[in-house]
């Protein structure tokens, strides 16, 4: 007897009315990670400081509002996770495929009702079977290794529009994947610069609207890039950045001897200040070799069925579907080959279409095999604490729907 298909509107109304304890019974996966199990960037450094016998004085602020987490975004119990989607919003592979598989078929049905999404813009849906209450879908630029003005602007808009939707829905905790750095080929380093600087500026403008932004990385490459950059961009008032740190080694600043010169530590601060002034030049306009995207081994151990209450306040539930658009993408009048091919406003056929393979995905040709997330262990935090994380392939009929979507996405990326 096949499972009765749920109506997404009814399911969304029901879920958004539940409190956290009741919602937890509906999570498709019980190895979810609650927010209080994810240390802030400041706590990470404080614990390292303690290990080195150093006292933490003053500091705080921005570094208490961000976290670096390495693992599967679909297990994070936050108000919203951000999906690196394509313009159809009908699923695909990579993080998009994982989110659709973990959320269930109601996510596809609600996405279908949104009639797609343009590059740089964002739309929000319910999280359904996910531990995240909402999913914010944003479409990153297809960079294919090239970082120009339009790619930089589009990726910046993805973060800005996602945070705007978060605020409009009264939500305060969010997790971002590394948008566009997979099949869309945005080089990892400039993408991280854009992500970190855009989020930092937004938190500075909306300090009371955000509790936590989690940078959820999946690859070791991104983990090392974010760790190095966060030590500079989100340093505590009392955390000094050493010469080597500025040159780019990966050791967190506080594990360096404190006797660096006044000048180098002030230079560290100046550099952070400069980044604040030039946020939009974060990536510059140079062609950057795209780093390998081969997923790397990760190990860790989960803390399943965490019962401990989150101290986070239950946010006001709003159940309208925001499709609020930002006109920046139209206004910028960027004439890109990727824009021409984009079927931005293509009306989707009445009956539910078979899995859609968009022209964008064709363009972002790839021989990259879809990441195998059937069994992935991850390190969950940036201080090396091990958090094992199983991404199980669900056996129930819902996943067949997403699988069929994913099977249409194979071999998208050219070498
Ligand atoms: N990667 C693939 O093989 C593949 C295939 C078809 C479509 N897609 C997707 O790719 C397009 C978007 O490209 P994109 O580069 O923005 O996205 P992406 O290809 O999913 O890569 C974005 C980033 O997410 C990372 N990632 C993958 N799985 C997870 C996970 N479970 N949790 C956290 N992070 C994860 C991935 O390593 C990369 O750093 C869309 O069409 C979407 O459907 C990906």
More confident residue, 318 or 140: 140
Q: Which residues line ligand 1 (CB under 6 A)?
A: 72-74, 84, 86, 92-96, 98, 140, 177-184, 216, 218-219, 222, 361, 368, 370-371, 373, 409, 412
Mean pLDDT of the chain: 71
For residue 279, the model assigns a pLDDT of: 38
**What is the DSSP pairing of strand 386-387 with strand 378-379?**
antiparallel
Distance 93 CA to ligand 1 centre (A): 6
Distance 362 CA to ligand 1 centre (A): 15
**Would you say residue 184 has pLDDT above 80?**
yes
d(CA 143, CA 150): 9
**Residue 26 carries which DSSP code?**
T
Residue whose tokens read 């959320």: 103
For residue 29, the model assigns a pLDDT of: 85
Percent of the chain with pLDDT over 90: 49
**Would you say residue 154 has pLDDT above 90?**
yes
Distance 30 CA to ligand 1 centre (A): 23
Give the lowest-confidence range in 60-69, 139-148, 298-307.
Answer: 298-307
Q: What is the mean pLDDT of residues 276-293?
A: 38
Q: What is the mean pLDDT of residues 276-304?
A: 39
For residue 6, the model assigns a pLDDT of: 87
More confident residue, 77 or 267: 77
**Would you say residue 330 has pLDDT above 80?**
no
Q: pTM for the complete prediction?
A: 0.66
Q: What is the mean pLDDT of residues 231-240?
A: 73
Give the lowest-confidence range in 5-9, 49-53, 316-320.
Answer: 316-320
Longest dimension (CA), the chain: 72
What is the distance of C-alpha 240 from the center of its chain? 28
Q: What is the mean pLDDT of residues 68-97?
A: 98
Distance 182 CA to ligand 1 centre (A): 5
Give the lowest-confidence range in 27-41, 244-258, 381-395.
Answer: 381-395
Identify the CATH number of the domain defined by range 8-250.
3.40.220.10
- Determine phi and psi for 391, rounding to 5 degrees: -105, 100
Q: What is the mean pLDDT of residues 307-328?
A: 41
Q: What is the mean pLDDT of residues 317-338?
A: 38
d(CA 65, CA 202): 12
Give the lowest-confidence range in 228-242, 248-262, 332-346.
Answer: 332-346
Distance 121 CA to ligand 1 centre (A): 17
Q: CA distances (Å), 17 to each of 11, 12, 23, 388, in order?
A: 10, 9, 9, 31
Q: What is the mean pLDDT of residues 334-349?
A: 39
- The alpha carbon dihedral of 374, 96, 338, 409 has a sign of positive
Annotated domain spans of the chain: 8-250, 309-414
Distance 97 CA to ligand 1 centre (A): 8
Q: What is the pLDDT of residues 124-137, one digit of tens each?
A: 999 999 999 999 99
Q: What is the mean pLDDT of residues 60-64?
A: 85
Name the residue of 82, 84, 184 to mutate for ligand 1: max ligand atoms within 8 A of Cβ. Answer: 84
Q: Which two tokens stand for residue 48?
A: 């390292």
What is the distance of C-alpha 54 from the center of its chain? 33
33 neighbors 77 (Cβ within 8 angstroms): yes
d(CA 40, CA 45): 9
**Would you say residue 46 has pLDDT above 50?**
yes
Name the residue of 69, 89, 95, 122 to mutate for ligand 1: max ligand atoms within 8 A of Cβ. Answer: 95
For residue 368, the model assigns a pLDDT of: 39
ipTM of the complex: 0.97
Ligand 1, residue 370: give the atom nearest the CA.
3
Burial 3-31 (b: 16+ CB within 10 A, else e): eeebebeebbeebeeeeeeebbeebbbeb
To which H or E segment does residue 125 belong?
Answer: strand 122-126
In 234-279, where does DSSP find H-type helix?
Answer: 243-247, 262-277
Ligand 1, residue 391: give the atom nearest the CA.
31
**Would you say residue 352 has pLDDT above 80?**
no
């Amino acid at each position: 007897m096949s499972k009765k298909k749920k109506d997404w509107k009814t399911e969304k109304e029901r879920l958004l009315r539940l409190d956290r304890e009741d919602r937890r019974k509906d999570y498709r996966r019980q190895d979810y990670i609650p927010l209080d199990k994810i240390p802030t960037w400041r706590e990470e450094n404080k614990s390292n400081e303690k290990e080195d016998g150093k006292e933490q004085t003053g500091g705080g602020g921005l570094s208490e509002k961000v976290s670096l987490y390495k693992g599967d975004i679909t297990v994070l119990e936050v108000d919203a996770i951000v999906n690196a989607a394509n313009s159809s919003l009908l699923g695909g592979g990579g993080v998009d495929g994982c989110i659709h598989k973990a959320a269930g078929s109601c996510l596809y049905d609600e996405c279908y009702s949104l009639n797609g999404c343009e590059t740089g813009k964002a739309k929000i849906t319910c999280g359904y079977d996910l531990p995240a209450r909402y999913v914010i879908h944003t479409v990153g630029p297809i960079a294919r290794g090239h970082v120009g003005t339009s790619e930089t602007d589009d990726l910046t808009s993805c973060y800005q529009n996602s945070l705007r939707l978060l605020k409009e829905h009264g939500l305060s905790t969010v997790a971002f994947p590394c948008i566009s750095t997979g099949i869309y080929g945005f080089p990892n380093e400039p993408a991280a610069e854009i992500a970190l600087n855009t989020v930092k500026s937004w938190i500075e403008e909306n300090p009371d609207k955000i509790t936590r932004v989690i940078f959820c990385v999946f690859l070791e490459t991104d983990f090392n890039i974010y760790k190095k950059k966060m030590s500079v961009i989100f340093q505590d008032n009392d955390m000094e950045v050493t010469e080597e740190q500025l040159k780019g080694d990966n050791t967190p600043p506080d594990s360096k001897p404190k006797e660096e010169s006044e000048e180098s530590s002030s230079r560290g601060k100046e550099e952070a200040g400069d980044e604040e002034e030039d946020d939009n030049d974060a990536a510059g306009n140079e062609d950057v070799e795209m780093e390998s995207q081969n997923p790397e081994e990760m190990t860790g151990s989960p803390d399943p069925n965490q019962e401990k209450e989150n101290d986070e306040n239950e946010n006001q539930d709003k159940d309208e579907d925001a499709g609020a658009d930002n006109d920046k993408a139209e206004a910028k009048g960027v004439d890109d080959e990727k824009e021409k091919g984009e079927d931005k406003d293509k009306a989707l056929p009445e009956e539910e279409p078979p899995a859609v393979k968009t022209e964008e995905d064709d363009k972002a040709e790839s021989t990259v095999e879809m990441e195998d997330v059937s069994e992935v262990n991850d390190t969950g935090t940036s201080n090396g604490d091990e958090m094992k994380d199983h991404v199980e392939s669900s056996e129930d009929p819902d996943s067949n729907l997403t699988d069929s979507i994913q099977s249409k996405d194979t071999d998208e990326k050219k070498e």
